[in-house]
Amino acid sequence: MYNWNEHDSDPVKALIATIDNTAARASGSLGGVLVFPSDPIRGLLEELDRRQIAWVTINRRDSNETQNFVSFDAFGGSRLIGRLFARQNIDRAVVLSDTFGAGKTTGEKYFGFLQGYIEGGMLSRNLDYIDCNSYQEMSGYERMRRYFDEFGPPRGVYASGDFLALGAARLARERGLRIPEDMVVVGSTGLHVAAYGTPPMTVLQVPMEQMGREAARMLMQMSREGDRRIGGRFVPTSLLVRESFVVEENVVQHIRAEITS
């Protein structure tokens, strides 16, 4: 595991030096590298290609990527939640999000939710997008506070991460709103902490272990067969229903079947 410092003027150079040293200790052979892509290290993958080192990313560098990645179906899962919001007639909703960027699924979550919400018969103008520029709880709290002060509380919040959702829920409680009676809140990471929210948080679960296993299989296949490109793979996700957004399992399965048919 190689960490990089976000304050480094050239993190790619530092990472490549470490990788080259590892390859030298392994007599010049390095089977592959698993990369968590972000904007400061976008050039790392090109350097790995030059060295004929196989690589796979967790999530895609950008929405057009078709190879060498493992991700979860953020678009499809968020589309499901958008449909569920519409089914419960949540006529004013907010997507509370971290910034779009390399290695993030925030864009897929927003556009998936938007599609599902519209498919369910709601109007796009009833959906607001809030960029928190962070995934932390305090950012969700502060951005929702500003939204509440300007527009009043929405009927529902879908957050690109569980911490943002917890921040929104905290603000709602402080403003005297009941969850889910007055405002529903859904997260989309599946962290254990969401189960201990007040109330416990409904979340779209990211299948992290399955993604890790799939990435390992891909790297082993690429190393064994000498491939440098392999089709990207999506791992299915699931909705874990708790008290912050209550929906029957048969309804979830019915809408999921409609989406995938």
What is the CB neighbour count within 10 angstroms for residue 207? 16
Beta-ladder partners of 240: 203
Domain with residue 131: its CATH number is 3.40.50.2300
In this structure, is residue 161 part of a structural domain? yes
Domain region containing 190 = 72-206+239-260
220: which residues sit within 8 A by CB, 6+ positions away? 31, 32
Query: 47 with 155, same domain?
Result: no
Query: 151 with 44, same domain?
Result: no
Q: Is the per-residue pLDDT at 230 higher than 80?
A: yes
Query: 130 with 212, same domain?
Result: no
In this structure, is residue 19 part of a structural domain? yes
Tell me, what's the pLDDT at 27? 67
pLDDT band at 30 (very low <50, low <70, confident <90, very high): confident
Query: 91 with 22, same domain?
Result: no
Give the residue-averaged pLDDT of 218-226.
91
* b/e sequence 119-150, b meaning 16+ C-beta within 10 Å: ebebeeebbeebbbebbbbebbbebbbebbee
Q: How many domains does the chain have?
A: 2
In this structure, the chain runs to a length of 261
Query: 136 with 211, same domain?
Result: no
The alpha carbon torsion through 224, 225, 231, 234 (nearest 10 deg) reads -20
In this structure, is residue 4 part of a structural domain? no
pLDDT tens for residues 108-157? Answer: 999 999 999 999 999 999 999 999 999 999 999 999 999 999 999 999 99
Predicted TM-score (pTM) of this structure: 0.91
Q: Which residue has the tokens 């990527």?
A: 65
Tell me, what's the pLDDT at 28? 62
Query: 66 with 94, same domain?
Result: no
